[in-house]
Structures are given as structure tokens and as C-alpha cells.
Chain A
Amino acid sequence: KNEVEQSPQNLTAQEGEFITINCSYSVGISALHWLQQHPGGGIVSLFMLSSGKKKHGRLIATINIQEKHSSLHITASHPRDSAVYICAVRLRNQFYFGTGTSLTVIP
């Protein structure tokens, strides 16, 4: 049973396109996280959300608590955005992760 489902699994976009990655979860949570993993390993936290919307540069994250759904948007995508994007939820002291969305942005 997967507490966190992400879609799509893989995504290829042309530079400049608007990108949306979706995340649905099935448990009551204290916060939802969007993480980014570049080839080679290290994972960094992009956003932590418990309600509403957050924006950082070209990245926007939204969450709908009632629907248990979050989206990560990238505006004016660029090849350096190519990475795996992972949705994670925190429930008490545990984190549950989606399997990730592999994004490739082609110049």
C-alpha cells in the first residue's frame, strides 16, 4: 500500500514549457514536502506546505488538504530543472515518499 502516489512517473518537456507534477496522499499529515534529486544522489527540500500555496522563483507548490492533493508547477522550464522530483508527507515522526517524477527538459 502506497501512502503517497505521484504522477506522472516520467516527463519530458521542451525548454520554456509549463510543467505540473501531481501528488496524492492517503493519510492525515502534518506537512507535505517537495524534494528535488539531481543525478548523482543528493536530495534537497524545495518546499514544505501545510496549506495553500508557496512560490520560490519559477517553482510553485500548492496543496488542497481536503482533497489530499498537492501539485508542483515549474514555469518557463529550463534544462537545469531536469531532476527527479519527490513528494513526501510527514505523519508524526515518519516521512512517506512517492516514487518520484523524473523530469527531462530538452533545450
Chain B
Amino acid sequence: DVKVTQSSRYLVKRTGEKVFLECVQDMDHENMFWYRQDPGLGLRLIYFSYDVKMKEKGDIPEGYSVSREKKERFSLILESASTNQTSMYLCASSLWAQGNTIYFGEGSWLTVV
């Protein structure tokens, strides 16, 4: 059974803290994504990666960075958390080849106080 695992389900962090969200997939997928989901706005792409050490900015990369040192792991980093980064964060992965579906993790609810 395919699996995308996000390390933390619920987090509460203080403004200014550095926050790490980890995502691991066990399907040998080339593509990995970090999305943010807010009410009324749907899923917005923060960053994606199509290979180890490769990354591309999505629609809302400001305030975020990512790391992909191994194929199975894609980390999202909030360098200095702010209250407007309070949101649900979803990691996803897919194969490079078209005609394949996308798989999501369970999501991480981040609250910045």
C-alpha cells in the first residue's frame, strides 16, 4: 500500500521560531510537493521537487524553503514562523511519468502564536 507520511499532525509554534515539516514517501516517486490549504483558497503550491537536490518555487514560496537530500524525503522549512503561516500543510508525491496519480499525506496543522 502506497504511503506518504508527514512527521507531525499538529504543531503549535511561536512567532519567529524555525519550523521543520518532514515528509517521507515509500513509492520511489520522483516528484514531491508541498501545498498549503486555506479555507476558500484551495490547495496552493509552495515548492516542488522532481529529483534529489532539485527544487522549484510554486505559487507562494515566500517565507519557506525546502530540502530534498534523499529521494524519499522532502522537508519544508519555515525560517521564521509568522502568524499568517498558520495553515494546513499537505505533502504529496507522484511519479515523473504522466498518466500517474498523486498521493497525499494526512496533513500537518500548524498554528503560529
Within 8 A of A (CB), among B86-113: 88, 90, 92, 94, 96, 98-107, 109
Please report the number of residue pairs spanning A and B whose Cβ atoms sit closer than 8 angstroms: 54
The SS class assigned to the A binding surface is strand
| Contact of B90 with A86 in the complex, beta carbons under 8 Å | no
Number of chain B residues close to chain A: CB under 8 A: 25
Q: Measured between alpha carbons, how far is A30 from B97 in the docked complex, in Å?
A: 10
Within 8 A of B (CB), among A59-107: 86, 88, 90, 92-95, 97-100
| Contact of B101 with A33 in the complex, beta carbons under 8 Å | yes
Enumerate 11 A-B pairs (CB-CB under 8 Å) in ascending A order: A41-B88, A41-B109, A42-B105, A42-B107, A43-B90, A44-B104, A45-B103, A48-B99, A93-B48, A95-B45, A97-B42
